[in-house]
Amino acid sequence: MIKEHKFGIIIIFLILGSLLSSELASNENSSLLIINAKIIDGTGGAARLESVRINGNRIQELGQLRPLPGEIILDATGLVLSPGFIDTHSHHDISIFNMPDALSATSQGITTIVVGLDGFSTVPLSNFFAKVKDNPLAVNIASYSGHNSLRNIVIGKDYQRFSTPKEIEDMKNLLRLDMKAGALGLSTGLEYDPGIYSETDEVVALLEVVPKDQGRYASHIRSEDVHLESALDEFIEISRKSQLPSQISHIKLARRDLWGQTSWMINKLNAARHEGLDITADIYPYTYYESTMRTLFAKRDFDNRESAEFALTELVHPNQLTLSHYEPDPNLVGKTIAEIAVMRKEDPVTVLMNLIKEDKTKTDSAIGVAMTQPDIDKLMQWEHSNICSDGELNNGHPRGRGAFARILANYVRSRGILGWETAIHKMTQLSALHMGFKNRGVIKSGAIADLVLFDPEKIQDNATMDDINRLSSGIINVWVGGELVYSDKKSTGLRPGQVIRRAD
């Protein structure tokens, strides 16, 4: 455990903060020696005071090291050096080519983002990877192949039904191409269209294409609220039949009468693991989610008043459901269902039904409070859950700018829900293991030099519902593949990010 204490002014940072990037760029053969850092290596082991030498894109060695002639030296007295944070479930790809420096991610210590989640990805994935190659990024990126996207291509608009054997085979052929391109595996978003209309056997059949020794399965399960129990059973069944490492995306209990029943969920997952299934989860540190309002209707009966009433009593309250994207009337963004009801002089149930009816584009999104803090704390403490953001680089939910900093500021420093070493483990090595990444997420000789240097007393998430795009603070430096991409509270302009393919 790191003890809180005040740090003196580190004079060397005044010099290196703005110059280190250019110095490294101009002397590519120079190694960098970080001295006097508190090392949290990602394994969960105790923090220790050591030096770390970076040479090229690798960690060359660590220990009690002496400077080499001509070596750049960075004095990290009072700071923590950890592996770069790995965001195992993100939607940063939505804006990544418009924001290639990924400042929202790097400013909270993220060096690797995983996309293609919730069943949505670029098809074929090779096109996306080619675009990354032509448009370098500051962060590494990996992707799943998305079931919903495959289904959209093969079935088209006639998707409100089970697929035929021919359609499943066509989807498998597309998935084979994505796996060949380096997809981590298959992701599903079974609570979304068109995947919600698929049978369990369709998913199992597609997973036959995913290599048993390398690939994996990630799922936004069929229900996180109304039918959570059966959705969890289905997820376990898919894991059992596929025999693949299987990860529940952004695990939660989002139905009010389930609040407080985390023990039931964890016991069920542990029983599956005891059976031999490699089941894991990721989680973000907020009590509120962001999704389409359509997910509040499990039967997709948007004009059913009884279903709308259930949604606004058992799933989310009208004063806790805020529009975050709404094409028909962007002026409604930032307002709750309760506020819109007052504006329109209608009851909240009618407003919810009408908002969905009016959105012909089906692109709405809303942020809703649906979880309790004690449940999140317990799920986060589960030894097989790692941290994610489920966020975007811009707008949307505050998690896109603050999730990882929030873990360290709130869950570690302020409330002690996790220890420093455990939290870092859940953000680095455990994430790498859950994604199948090699030589990442740990500080050891030979590992890729994705690193984060931060001030444990000042690390803080700043994005809120009132000011969604405020960046996190307290991150000092971020290296991706040994190159400095974030320093002095800004991007350096370097973009060394790599595509991480399955088994890389």
Q: What is the pLDDT of residues 405-423, one digit of tens each?
A: 999 999 999 999 999 999 9
Query: For the residues 207-223, what does the mean pLDDT come to?
Result: 96
For the segment 150-177, the average pLDDT, to the nearest whole number, is: 98
Per-residue pLDDT, averaged over 468-481, amounts to 97
Taking 90 as the threshold, does the pLDDT of residue 22 lie above it?
Answer: no
SS3 92: helix
pTM of this structure: 0.93
Residues belonging to the chain: 504
User: In this structure, what token pair is assigned to residue 212?
Assistant: 């048993």
From first CA to last CA, the distance across the chain in angstroms is 33
Q: Rounded mean pLDDT of 433-437?
A: 98
Whether 20 has a pLDDT exceeding 70, the answer reads no
Q: Give the list of residues 6+ apart from residue 102 with CB closer than 8 angstroms, or none.
A: 92, 96, 110, 113, 137, 138, 139, 393, 497
Per-residue model confidence as pLDDT tens digits over 87-108? 999 999 999 999 999 999 999 9
Q: What is the DSSP string of 375-422?
A: HHHHHHHSTTEEE-----SSSS-THHHHHHHHIIIIIIIIT-SS-HHH
pLDDT tens by residue, 289-317: 999 999 999 999 999 999 999 999 999 99
Q: What per-residue confidence (pLDDT) applies to 503?
A: 72
**26 pLDDT tier (thresholds 50, 70, 90):** very low
Domains of the chain (ranges; CATH) run: 85-289+370-437 (3.20.20.140), 298-367 (3.30.1490)
| Share of residues in the chain with pLDDT > 90 (%) | 92
State residue 280's pLDDT score. Answer: 98
Structure tokens at 258: 């389930």
Query: Mean pLDDT for the chain?
Result: 94
pLDDT tens, residue by residue, 36-72: 999 999 999 999 999 999 999 999 999 999 999 999 9
Contacts of 385 (CB under 8 A, 6+ apart): 251, 280, 281, 282, 283, 379, 426
The pLDDT assigned to 504 comes to 60
The token pair that represents 164 in the structure block: 């035929």
Which pLDDT belongs to residue 450? 98
**Contact of 5 with 478, CB cutoff 8 Å:** no
Cross-strand partners of 53:
33, 61
| Band of residue 263 on the pLDDT scale cut at 50, 70, 90 | very high
Residue 172, pLDDT > 70, answer: yes
What pLDDT score was predicted for residue 298?
A: 93
Residue 174 predicted with pLDDT over 70:
yes
What pLDDT, on a 0 to 100 scale, did the predictor assign at position 213?
86
Cβ neighbourhood burial of 133 (10 Å; 0-12, 13-18, 19+): exposed
Nearest C-alpha neighbor of 242 from the set 267, 213, 266: 213
The helix (H) or strand (E) run that includes residue 232 is: helix 228-242
Q: Exposure of 9 by Cβ count < 10 A (0-12 exposed, 13-18 middle, 19+ buried)?
A: exposed
pLDDT given for residue 13 in this prediction: 41
Q: Which residue has the higher pLDDT, 1 or 316?
A: 316
Confidence of residue 195 (pLDDT cuts 50, 70, 90): very high
> In 200-338, at which residue ranges do the beta strands (DSSP E only) sit?
216-220, 246-248, 279-283, 288-291, 321-325
Output the six-digit token pair for 52. 């770390």
pLDDT higher than threshold 50 for residue 224: yes
What's the average model confidence in pLDDT over 306-331? 96
